[in-house]
Structure 1
């Protein structure tokens, strides 16, 4: 077998695209130097054709046993131990071997451009075409198919039960710190932070530690029914909660650094899905090559290299050690990503895992490390964030039954009591390995920097710019983006407000604002009082509070935007006519209760009085003698009085909690919401009896390798007879931004229903098509397609032409009816978009597919939005 493998390797002409995956393990043997001075060589190895870095290049000091490999970025640094050696050999499968002479007893830089073998014209023959990479009769592909065939028996999820303790450490550093950077004026009052610099042992890069998070947890798994629960016993992170949502940042970092299971078909990493090198589809998407046979953990293994056939696909480059026994198990794996991949803000990524036998020789993870170099520029020595995650495992217990009570919680991650408040005695015993001096210094630096007045001023300004609030300690003023706005009814509008914080009273919170429109010359405002029933701030998850509020405000009917406020200045710019609005007087009493299990509920009472504003009118016939012959009159206002219950089930939901909104961190888990409202006539001036029931579900589906799909389904029904302001007025969008859950070519008040079903489908290709097009692929653009469909209708008793006591639908000046039912079929629109423009912008061409004859509608439109994603 061995002879057959090496004969095949010797005759195999490796393709140019394998240059990123070559890896030969060289043992490092320390040699005693003859001369007193040190010989040091460093440099970078790049491809002579593409100028891209080549990782895992084998570098050997000729005449000695000393050797190393380049890192994922093609860099290397080595101290020459052999005092007689003068030459270094650089080799990588797929490239011509180079030999360079170095000078002894000095430090020097030797960077090499390796020539791909396909460029070496003297070696090109008529047989070259026969040596083209293929799966057939390829021993590397034969081997990976055996690994795939044994995947289910080798993965830990093949066991009936398992449990272990996991200790995780995540650290973020600002890299490439030099003397000039430390002397910047901005750090004049913070020089002490540079007392805790971290120097890489392999690259010599100096970085400044910024963030540290530790977690210790017990993990339990059962196969039938398959469930995994993680009981978090302790969690510790730097304390900057006064300025940022520390828990939200931790959630986002956890999303970036998800557990990687090499045996999964698709691997989640950096909010994307990568094809695993041992997926069933891997022979289609990867090239494999046998690099060597070796001994590892007393087991004969094959070192198998791999890289994506198309270097722009979401796939890995790296190598793995495969045991040459009947199990064909993975003993060690190293994963990186090609630099040409369509991945934002990531310069380098490296995953290293090792498996070792524990009970009954079952292989389990013993080493699990991820390092990611984040940055806005891929140029060398540019500053960015270096993120490192290391996980250790111990106390494995395999195939022993686990009590059912362990799996009773709904959520996967269970935060145990006092897990966030463990003392140093707990951590001294819980850590699998103690913190080094740099890691200890991160906690100390975080505590010290918050005492510096200049830092407090800096964070205050940052809070105003990023979150819209100016912090005064006991209270905040904001949000700044709502201070100024305009609309056709109010004209120029000014608003000013603020709210108290937990420092003033952790149980009682006040929030208020006042606004004035210079055209309608009317005051608006809000006053809310919240009593906190939980132990944390009301601006932190999970919420548990009782709130009473009163608001007078102007709104466009049917517009309830998510995450942003209607009087945000950016939403003041709208297309078309949008002067039909209502003045609203709203009294609310709400109780909100959230839990980490994923189940939450809200109980509420709302009294809403609507008054027509602008060109909108509440017109109807005399109720006592309603007929087309009687004159119309304008109703002054409409009052609804309703109680409601809102249920939400969102297992494993994650989000970043902002100052005045939440940004969801979308994962693979579904979210379900059910809302019921009861309108009561003659209770606190309520005008109508009705029932309103709505259901909503949304989920992300990963469809590797062609991206992912977000699907939202929604349905609702109103029981009772109500005028159009109490119907479901469907969410329209007349701004120039693309709104995910509004209809972007629908006009305000254009459609209303008392029964409806809606479907939103957004598919993100992540550049799957553009990455294969010459020239365009260099722009790292991504494709998006969407479809939005709305089915509905209005019952006969809620149509004004059938019930003359109801308000007439809004009309234009020429008498054209502007509000319609969906009796003639669904409203549909679709769009094709290009995202990742300058890494943060998306533009869509939207086409309206139905109801094209309605007045003042556009068949096509161009919309844009900002989106930050990896």
Structure 2
């Protein structure tokens, strides 16, 4: 028997054994059949095994199915009336989950239910009467209607590039990344791909008590596809995505999605904004349900369309809900949005939310590449009536980071209520593997340069590039070069600095700082706990205080009016900051400050004989302490500052600064108290308003105006939210004041009702800013000769004032969402119009990215 014959026998034996083993293997497939356009479930779809007619099943009323297969066949045929059939390839895994999407035959868009074309009226409408019953029983059916509730919650958030073509996938730049691409069953063709980019899972225990109303959450496990912290704030990215994909609570009057509020179909005012129809009756075992379809009266408003299944047992509870939005809605970049909610009975026969899913796809166009994200929340072990100790309802317990990182795949398999899909299961490893590829790191390095302005060179990074060149009338052409260290240098010590040179004043300026973390982590990660020492010599415009932008940004080189009042500042600071759970922070600092007037700015004191004494410098030593409380605050943490993600919770600050005479050359004693309160007020269909109130009170006599409050002015052509856009620099000074600023965003509520404007999806913005204050006689240059005289401009006219019995006010009307990123305001100054060189109105612009 020769060797070739032996090899042939062994090969045939292996093939036969493999076939026998494959035939004996049983696999279980669970999944859901959905409409590929609307993402709604397709009930009673047929699911058959290709080649085995005896194996098959159908989806239930929710589109869900379970099927077991014994044999080598690995392909399903899925079909439903009105849809094109689809074949689905299966893997060899014993248990797998598949979302299967079918597309309507010969249709561009699938529409499940259309309202009858008859005159609609709320009067004598059984559908409206039914929804009013649902509204009337809303409190008893929602979570907050129960006395005591506890449950476990699993959350999953997945994000990726979607609808990618074969041509895009095979580009040369992706040669080393082919392992990342997966088939996109939701794409517009069979050759579409998806590129998973982010995934996060969280499992928590939750406790709720009605009286007094308190709740707590204990995080059992949390897992996230982390990016290199040199490029991405992973916690901030998670906060931002969770804010976009907020939890859907249909029993609230308003549902927050994409930072906007949509009116719930069971809100108190729902019959005013929605049309309701009874479209079906459903029997689920012994349970009878009524299907209510609802549609927005105005397709351009922030409203849903969809269906509700309502119980008829006297409780009028929601058993199932599916919701989406109209394409006409004024919502940026959103190509598709779908919500599904499932409810079941608890141990007290009350309905509770068992599962919610929110799917959103973003794109610049109706077709082509996009970004698709999905957030799924599943609740289990829901129990009401169990009373716990008071401490259980008040404590928010976060997990130990080491405990979270030590969660093994087996632990997560036990925690997940349903297994991950094949594409989801490899996201974590793909993101980890992606970051080992040098070309990806180069791409992230370039992206970081574009977005943050810094170029990395190992343990240091140079920037920001938009400050390398700028211009002002005192320094002339200003050239600057700076940088800072990264985590590669040290995870606890961060150094930062720059050098700058003015070609006109021929002076060098500098800044140097060192920040040391006191809690064994980066000083820029929450909760911050650090000490910082800094020294600087630089120019500054009194009364200009910018947020998130350097004052020597090249874009701010262009200013209106006279811009000649400057300071040369020497600052030596020592700062301390500590943050605590609950978003409470304490800061304190010591500042040695020397001011030298520059440009037309001068420190002059009028003597009793009428002569003028010019003062070359002003020396101050200050001690400060501050408190800040921002409950439930969310933010994206940059390298040196935070970008807030505003929600409905307020932000309070309280600061105290003391001037110390005789300490380290300090020349004045004073006490400066400052308080601010910020609140975003949501107004449902009428948009939202950002309201900011602030005030100061300074105790002390004979204090020169540079140490008082020089109110925030803006002479650039950019609209600044916190500054007074038609006030001149140093125009108003006070030792006590109160101010109110309101930015009201209507989100297109008016424009959506104008036929020619609603197609442009523009949004209206209104603002009002008012401030009133004054000076005590001892600090007023008009009365006291012990303080500096008022500032004068280049023409010799007085250009600084205090308030003369009335507030400063300005208002604006803006058109936002121009090209989806631009806001332009017409600003009108309402008071103090007779002061020198002040504008009465102006046009200002602001770039802002909104959904």
TM-score, normalised with respect to structure 1: 0.85
The answer on 1:78 being equivalent to 2:59 is no
Bigger drift between 499-508 and 418-427 goes to 418-427
Give the alignment of 1:32-431 within 5 angstroms: 68=80, 76-79=83-86, 110-111=106-107, 131-194=118-181, 196-197=182-183, 199-200=185-186, 206-240=193-227, 241-296=229-284, 298-378=286-366, 380=367, 382-409=368-395, 414=398, 418=402, 420-424=404-408, 426-431=411-416
C-alpha separation in 2, matches of 1:797 and 1:728: 15
Give the root-mean-square deviation of aligned CA atoms: 2.7
* 1:97-118 deviations in Å (ceiling 9; x for gaps): xxxxxxxxxx996237999999
C-alpha separation in 2, matches of 1:246 and 1:592: 22
Give the alignment of 1:447-466 within 5 angstroms: 447-466=432-451
- The equivalent of 1:591 in structure 2 is 576
Bigger drift between 764-773 and 134-143 goes to 134-143
C-alpha separation in 2, matches of 1:34 and 1:237: 41
SS at match of 2:303: coil
Query: Given the alignment, which residue of 780, 798, 804 partners 2:761?
Result: 780
SS at match of 1:176: strand
Give the alignment of 1:442-521 within 5 angstroms: 442-521=427-506
SS at match of 2:164: coil
The answer on 1:644 being equivalent to 2:661 is no
Q: For the structure 1 residues 417 and 227, does the alpha-carbon distance in structure 2 shift closer, same or farther, using more than 3 Å as the test? A: farther
Decide whether the 8 Å contact of 1:21 with 1:307 is kept in 2. no
Bigger drift between 582-591 and 802-811 goes to 802-811
C-alpha separation in 1, matches of 2:671 and 2:605: 23
Superposition deviation, residue 573 in structure 1: 1.2
Q: For the structure 1 residues 208 and 813, does the alpha-carbon distance in structure 2 shift closer, same or farther, using more than 3 Å as the test? A: closer
SS at match of 1:454: helix
Superposition deviation, residue 632 in structure 1: 0.9
The answer on 1:690 being equivalent to 2:683 is no
C-alpha separation in 1, matches of 2:546 and 2:406: 40
* 1:336-375 deviations in Å (ceiling 9; x for gaps): 0111000011111000011011212221111211110111
- The equivalent of 1:535 in structure 2 is 520
Q: For the structure 1 residues 219 and 418, does the alpha-carbon distance in structure 2 shift closer, same or farther, using more than 3 Å as the test? A: farther
* Alignment length (residue pairs): 774
SS at match of 1:368: strand
C-alpha separation in 2, matches of 1:113 and 1:174: 22
Superposition deviation, residue 845 in structure 1: 0.5
Decide whether the 8 Å contact of 1:21 with 1:319 is kept in 2. no
- The equivalent of 1:847 in structure 2 is 828
Give the alignment of 1:663-674 within 5 angstroms: 663-674=643-654
- The equivalent of 2:23 in structure 1 is none
C-alpha separation in 1, matches of 2:682 and 2:147: 27
- The equivalent of 2:97 in structure 1 is none
C-alpha separation in 2, matches of 1:765 and 1:238: 36
SS at match of 2:130: helix
SS at match of 1:497: strand
Decide whether the 8 Å contact of 1:198 with 1:438 is kept in 2. no
C-alpha separation in 2, matches of 1:609 and 1:69: 81
C-alpha separation in 2, matches of 1:567 and 1:670: 31
Give the alignment of 1:16-35 within 5 angstroms: 26-29=43-46
* 1:126-181 deviations in Å (ceiling 9; x for gaps): xx8xx411111111111111111111111121001111111111000211122101
Superposition deviation, residue 27 in structure 1: 2.3
Superposition deviation, residue 432 in structure 1: 2.8
The answer on 1:660 being equivalent to 2:640 is yes
Decide whether the 8 Å contact of 1:24 with 1:292 is kept in 2. no
The answer on 1:767 being equivalent to 2:763 is no
- The equivalent of 1:43 in structure 2 is none
Superposition deviation, residue 376 in structure 1: 1.3
C-alpha separation in 2, matches of 1:30 and 1:477: 59
TM-score, normalised with respect to structure 2: 0.87
Decide whether the 8 Å contact of 2:579 with 2:585 is kept in 1. yes
Superposition deviation, residue 206 in structure 1: 2.9
Q: For the structure 1 residues 686 and 731, does the alpha-carbon distance in structure 2 shift closer, same or farther, using more than 3 Å as the test? A: same
* 1:772-827 deviations in Å (ceiling 9; x for gaps): 11121000000111100001001100012322121111112443211100123100
Superposition deviation, residue 436 in structure 1: 3.6
Q: For the structure 1 residues 413 and 853, does the alpha-carbon distance in structure 2 shift closer, same or farther, using more than 3 Å as the test? A: farther
Q: For the structure 1 residues 660 and 295, does the alpha-carbon distance in structure 2 shift closer, same or farther, using more than 3 Å as the test? A: same
Q: For the structure 1 residues 225 and 108, does the alpha-carbon distance in structure 2 shift closer, same or farther, using more than 3 Å as the test? A: closer
SS at match of 1:771: helix
Q: For the structure 1 residues 643 and 531, does the alpha-carbon distance in structure 2 shift closer, same or farther, using more than 3 Å as the test? A: same
Decide whether the 8 Å contact of 1:173 with 1:211 is kept in 2. yes
Decide whether the 8 Å contact of 2:236 with 2:635 is kept in 1. yes
- The equivalent of 2:509 in structure 1 is 524
Decide whether the 8 Å contact of 1:232 with 1:416 is kept in 2. no
C-alpha separation in 2, matches of 1:367 and 1:108: 27
* 1:559-592 deviations in Å (ceiling 9; x for gaps): 2211111011111111111110000000000011
SS at match of 1:153: helix
SS at match of 1:175: strand
Superposition deviation, residue 862 in structure 1: 0.5
Superposition deviation, residue 554 in structure 1: 0.2
Query: Given the alignment, which residue of 770, 786, 789 partners 1:808?
Result: 789
Q: Which runs of 5+ in 1 are unaligned?
A: 1-19, 37-55, 57-65, 71-75, 82-106
Q: For the structure 1 residues 436 and 796, does the alpha-carbon distance in structure 2 shift closer, same or farther, using more than 3 Å as the test? A: same
Query: Given the alignment, which residue of 630, 633, 640 partners 2:613?
Result: 633
C-alpha separation in 2, matches of 1:693 and 1:68: 70
- The equivalent of 2:96 in structure 1 is none
Decide whether the 8 Å contact of 1:21 with 1:318 is kept in 2. no
Decide whether the 8 Å contact of 2:737 with 2:771 is kept in 1. yes
Q: For the structure 1 residues 687 and 297, does the alpha-carbon distance in structure 2 shift closer, same or farther, using more than 3 Å as the test? A: farther
